[in-house]
Amino acid sequence: MSTLLRLQTIFRDVLDDDELVLTEEFSQADSEDWDSVATVQIALAVEENFGVNLPTQLVGNLTSVRQLLDHLPE
């Protein structure tokens, strides 16, 4: 499964939207449900599912899928 598809599964779960189609350009502005709590939930799920530790500064400023992709192995 590609990194983007793995992220899509996480975002669908956190944002409670089974029909969400995630793209590299998807951002917080594209979802009414992506708030600060969702950001923390996304970050925690990414860390658990990918076995990585995201930088605190990234999590605090996370607003796009591109930012995550830049910090994840392909």
Task: Write the pLDDT tens digit of every residue in 38-67.
Answer: 999 999 999 999 999 999 999 999 999 999
Residue 1: its pLDDT value, please? 76
DSSP 72: S
The residue ranges of every structural domain in the chain are 3-69
- What are the backbone dihedrals phi and psi of residue 64, each rounded to the nearest 5 degrees, phi first? -150, 155
Residue 63: its pLDDT value, please? 97
What letter represents residue 4's amino acid? Answer: L
Model pTM greater than 0.85? Answer: yes
CATH of domain 3-69: 1.10.1200.10
Residue 12: its pLDDT value, please? 98
Residue 74: its pLDDT value, please? 76
